Structure 1
Amino acid sequence: MTSPAVDDAYERLRSLIYSGELMPNERLVEIELAQRLEVSRAIVRTALVRLGQDGIVVLTPHRGARVRVVTDAEAVEILQTRAVLEALTAREAARRATAKEIAAIRRILAGMGRRLESGDLLGYSEGNAELHAAIIAAARHETAARLISGLRAQLVRFQFRTILVPGRATHSFAEHTAIVDAIAGRDPDAAERAMRHHLSHVESALSQAARRRH
């Protein structure tokens, strides 16, 4: 059992890593993080150990902790795993989402459309993350949500790269529209299929971006 203070520090540190405020390979200095979070070094140390167990942080004896760097090959594997889990959440969202949740999901999608029209790809990517989070929340599947959260935190370095592949943003919006329509239509099979289709294309775009870089 961990204390609420450790749980809170763990969640806040994971959020900082997921948001990109703490970048891949960045050194995590206990005293600096303790000051930032306004907690003791012991609490930070325990939280870092948990993040290390999650594979988000690398702990090296006598050298401290760093945010783990995920390779291109690992990123593809993570997306493949996410596709299975998020397909499940899309399916469950089609079954369980409330009318209020569906309306909120549609608003997020509409906002993504406006950002796409204005050429705001960074804003679009942020909306993308918000949409996926709303679908996961609507699914009410705690185990899938927990596993997806850990996987997403490892993909910080890659989260904006795929949307920059030429033509990808337009296809992405169409794919998200299909997912949302299936959830709103209460069609679990179609929602699951649409999410798998979407994330398979994200995987392809990531592989394409990695090839261009190398």
Structure 2
Amino acid sequence: MRSVADSLHRQAAEGLRELIFAGELAPGSFLDEAALCERLTVSRTPLREALKVLVAEGMLRHEPRRGCFVAEITERDVEQIFPVIALLEGRAAYEATGRAGPADLAALEVLHERLRAHAEAGRITAYYEANHAIHEAFITLADNRWLAQVIGDLRRILRLARHQTLHVPGRLQQSLAEHLQVFAAIKRGDAAAAEQAMRHHLFAQRDALRELTRNPPSRIAP
């Protein structure tokens, strides 16, 4: 049975993740402990335990005598993470294909229609959320807890960049086309093609992040 202290630091950790994923704590920003205690309604002890958790997850970095900062994804991170997650999520798509029944395909159809609608309307935040739901659906359908665990760890890091890549010119439409290719392969039961299409999708996302790291948003043409 979890203690009250354990529950409080888990609650604080989840609150911090939500603030980071929502963009309210931007990459590179300093974490003011007093302000966070007030915002999350916790004391210093559970907050500091939560900070340790997020440092271990790679979402924060700790600098001696300075404190904690929200981690930033570097070009090296991009080059190291994406080949790994492309393999893992490609495998998840492969396994999901073999397990997808009529009800699963119907649910995925709804998610992809929602994704298409958001892309056509240019609703980037809504598109990102639908995109995330589709990836989660594939992972759940694959029903492989080891894949789910490792992908989840890597996705937490990648979410530091959130939907910034979707602001790269043309990326929103490209992402939609890539997703539709994965889904088309799953619908026809072609596991190998689904795996390949998912890998292509992840590497395309890597290329968009490369563009962002080399040409920050202020330098990318509208």
Range with greater deviation from structure 2 (50-59 or 19-28): 19-28
What is aligned with 2:135? 132
1:157 CA drift (Å): 5.0
- Please tell me whether the aligned partners of residues 19 and 156 of structure 1 are also in contact (alpha carbons under 8 angstroms): no
What is aligned with 2:34? 31
1:97 CA drift (Å): 4.3
Asked if 1:61 corresponds to 2:71, the answer is: no
Asked if 1:71 corresponds to 2:69, the answer is: no
1:100 CA drift (Å): 3.8
Write the letter of the residue equivalent to 1:196: R
- Aligned residue pairs, count: 214
1:110 CA drift (Å): 0.5
Range with greater deviation from structure 2 (45-54 or 201-210): 201-210
What is aligned with 1:108? 111
Counterpart of 1:10 (choices 9, 13, 17) is 13
User: What is the alpha-carbon distance in structure 1 between the residues aligned to residue 189 and residue 118 of structure 2?
Assistant: 27
Which secondary structure does the structure 2 equivalent of 1:48 belong to?
Answer: helix
Counterpart of 1:158 (choices 151, 156, 161) is 161
Write the letter of the residue equivalent to 1:191: A
Write the letter of the residue equivalent to 1:19: A
Write the letter of the residue equivalent to 2:66: R
- Please tell me whether the aligned partners of residues 176 and 198 of structure 1 are also in contact (alpha carbons under 8 angstroms): yes
Counterpart of 2:50 (choices 47, 54, 57) is 47
1:98 CA drift (Å): 5.3
- Please tell me whether the aligned partners of residues 179 and 194 of structure 1 are also in contact (alpha carbons under 8 angstroms): yes
User: What is the alpha-carbon distance in structure 2 between the residues aligned to residue 23 and residue 98 of structure 1?
Assistant: 41
Structure-2-length-normalised TM-score: 0.82
User: What is the alpha-carbon distance in structure 1 between the residues aligned to residue 38 and residue 133 of structure 2?
Assistant: 29
User: What is the alpha-carbon distance in structure 2 between the residues aligned to residue 46 and residue 98 of structure 1?
Assistant: 43
- Please tell me whether the aligned partners of residues 10 and 51 of structure 1 are also in contact (alpha carbons under 8 angstroms): yes
Counterpart of 2:179 (choices 168, 176, 188) is 176
Structure 2 residue ranges without an equivalent (≥5): none
User: What is the alpha-carbon distance in structure 2 between the residues aligned to residue 60 and residue 181 of structure 1?
Assistant: 47
Structure 1 residue ranges without an equivalent (≥5): none
- Please tell me whether the aligned partners of residues 34 and 44 of structure 1 are also in contact (alpha carbons under 8 angstroms): yes
| Deviation readout 1:171-212 (Å, 9 max, x if unpaired) | 221210121223334432222111011112222232234444
Asked if 1:197 corresponds to 2:205, the answer is: no
1:48 CA drift (Å): 1.0
